Structure 1
């Protein structure tokens, strides 16, 4: 796929994520957590061309994008999305057929990642400084790694769903995120509301890593259960927009407790990117 098409898909995914009403997260419907929609749009504008640098390594793309974001908005708006987008973008650069081809290429990209990628990604994470990281005994992000990026992600995969994607060829991205958006877009003829559906699917099927880091497993489990109740009501709607009050009440409830399901939002955005790339393959 050509660079212009990939950049368009990336930008559409960044903006599509922010246009979807994601309870507890920043969207055009409601700011939150000391971040605004403008911060996310500006971050998307400065990071998209850097994610799509021809010939650049994965680590370089992520580090350059984080640096540009930090300069532009001074806060961490997109680290998780950048970590998930970069491998998908690189896989799309040699994809010409379909989503299966994209995932096959993705597997090769992930297998090729080395210690240089790990060093650059660790530097990017330290610069972005996401909340609640803490420290671990092996390959702590506050130190320089002495292993490949995949090895580092494997060590973190039991506590971080973004890291897990690097070890399972983006299983949740394709099988939950992309599949849900594809299914509900077909039912509702609305990518925006299908994206909300994908977000609720993630919230109700995983312990959100961001919530778990900040508040612990018990709170993360509580939010997962509540999300399942919301998702069940939302998914049976013939008109999803008619359920906006349900979504808004949940959004207000989460933000009143300063709970941000940031990992679910990142996974949703990555699933949307796969969907946007798949759309462009059909053109």
Structure 2
């Protein structure tokens, strides 16, 4: 029995679980507005995600070398994963997924730690300025939809790529510091970056959604699709806000909450992932979600950040005993 409560050496490989999580995430259907095994987008196809998962593996393997002397840093592992993904997929398929998976794999591979919020917080706090520089370099490999930087941080705009290195070093900004800039926007109409919030808060959305998946029944891909709906209902999606605006992101979350039969407490979803009842997620009607998926695609609503969180949740669920076998 492994330390995660599973049997066999192969089951204890975090890189295998991370690769499987990438594949299961895109196979889950329907995930309204996203590529899944039944739907392509005009510029993005299902098989590109399969290629991206394969191409990212060398970077994930670097992340798993937690106990090795001179182990690659989190930033180094991330940029290698993104470059491999882009080379194999030919486009950006899983940038956000990898931003979450790399620290998760690093924490899971550490023989002295259990995979937990505290372990993730320790990994993220241990990042360096060099990790931040590597993170910025990853933006040169693919196009990533991002908002403008917050006031006073124009020199840290991620779209500058490697050109931002002098500013990063002058500010002594670690990777966690950089991501923290996107968590609490000063503009009330701006949607916080949910992936960045995971890095600064100990991955609460990831672990909550993993519980939904673990306690659900049926194929893992279907459980992932229901967890996706729960995550989208909880909070507005960052990618939707970046591409269509904050109001569109909030309305998309309200529509997901309505599908789950959950009352929104305010504009833009329920407001907290812990406020989503597990029974509502498990009872999600995937046939009804099919109709929402078609509407989202026709309206250009692509909740990609919610898909990233779903992938991270799948990884934690796999580490904690979820299996693809019936």
1:271 to 313, 319, 326: 313
TM-score normalized by structure 2? 0.77
Q: In structure 1, how many angstroms separate the alpha carbons of the residues matched to 2:282 and 2:240?
A: 31
- Counterpart residue number, 1:156: 182
**Are the equivalent residues in 1 in contact too, given 2:21–2:315 (CA < 8 A)?**
yes
1:174 to 207, 212, 225: 207
Q: In structure 2, how many angstroms separate the alpha carbons of the residues matched to 1:49 and 1:230?
A: 39
Cα deviation for residue 125 of structure 1 reads 2.6
The SS at the match of 1:40 is helix
1:204 to 233, 236, 251: 233
Over 3 Å counting, the alpha-carbon distance change for 1:192 and 1:168 in structure 2 is same
After TM superposition, list the pairs within 5 Å mapping 1:65-144 onto structure 2: 65-95=81-111, 99=115, 102-136=116-150, 137-138=152-153, 139-141=156-158, 142=160, 143-144=164-165
Question: Whose Rg is larger?
Answer: 2
Q: In structure 1, how many angstroms separate the alpha carbons of the residues matched to 2:59 and 2:281?
A: 39
Q: In structure 1, how many angstroms separate the alpha carbons of the residues matched to 2:295 and 2:119?
A: 41
The SS at the match of 2:144 is coil
Q: In structure 2, how many angstroms separate the alpha carbons of the residues matched to 1:108 and 1:237?
A: 30
Q: In structure 2, how many angstroms separate the alpha carbons of the residues matched to 1:237 and 1:24?
A: 18
- Which structure has the highest helix share of the two? 1
Q: In structure 2, how many angstroms separate the alpha carbons of the residues matched to 1:30 and 1:235?
A: 27
**Are the equivalent residues in 1 in contact too, given 2:121–2:202 (CA < 8 A)?**
yes
Superposed CA RMSD: 2.5
- Counterpart residue number, 1:9: 17
Cα deviation for residue 65 of structure 1 reads 1.2
Aligned length: 273
Cα deviation for residue 239 of structure 1 reads 7.9
Q: In structure 1, how many angstroms separate the alpha carbons of the residues matched to 2:283 and 2:197?
A: 34
Q: In structure 2, how many angstroms separate the alpha carbons of the residues matched to 1:83 and 1:28?
A: 23
Q: In structure 2, how many angstroms separate the alpha carbons of the residues matched to 1:47 and 1:35?
A: 17
Q: Where in structure 1 are there 5+ consecutive unaligned residues?
A: none
- Counterpart residue number, 2:293: 251
* Larger RCO (alpha carbons 8 Å, 6+ apart): 1
Q: In structure 2, how many angstroms separate the alpha carbons of the residues matched to 1:65 and 1:91?
A: 17
The SS at the match of 1:212 is helix
The SS at the match of 1:48 is helix
- Counterpart residue number, 2:274: none
**Are the equivalent residues in 1 in contact too, given 2:194–2:238 (CA < 8 A)?**
yes
**Are the equivalent residues in 2 in contact too, given 1:150–1:166 (CA < 8 A)?**
yes
The SS at the match of 1:156 is coil
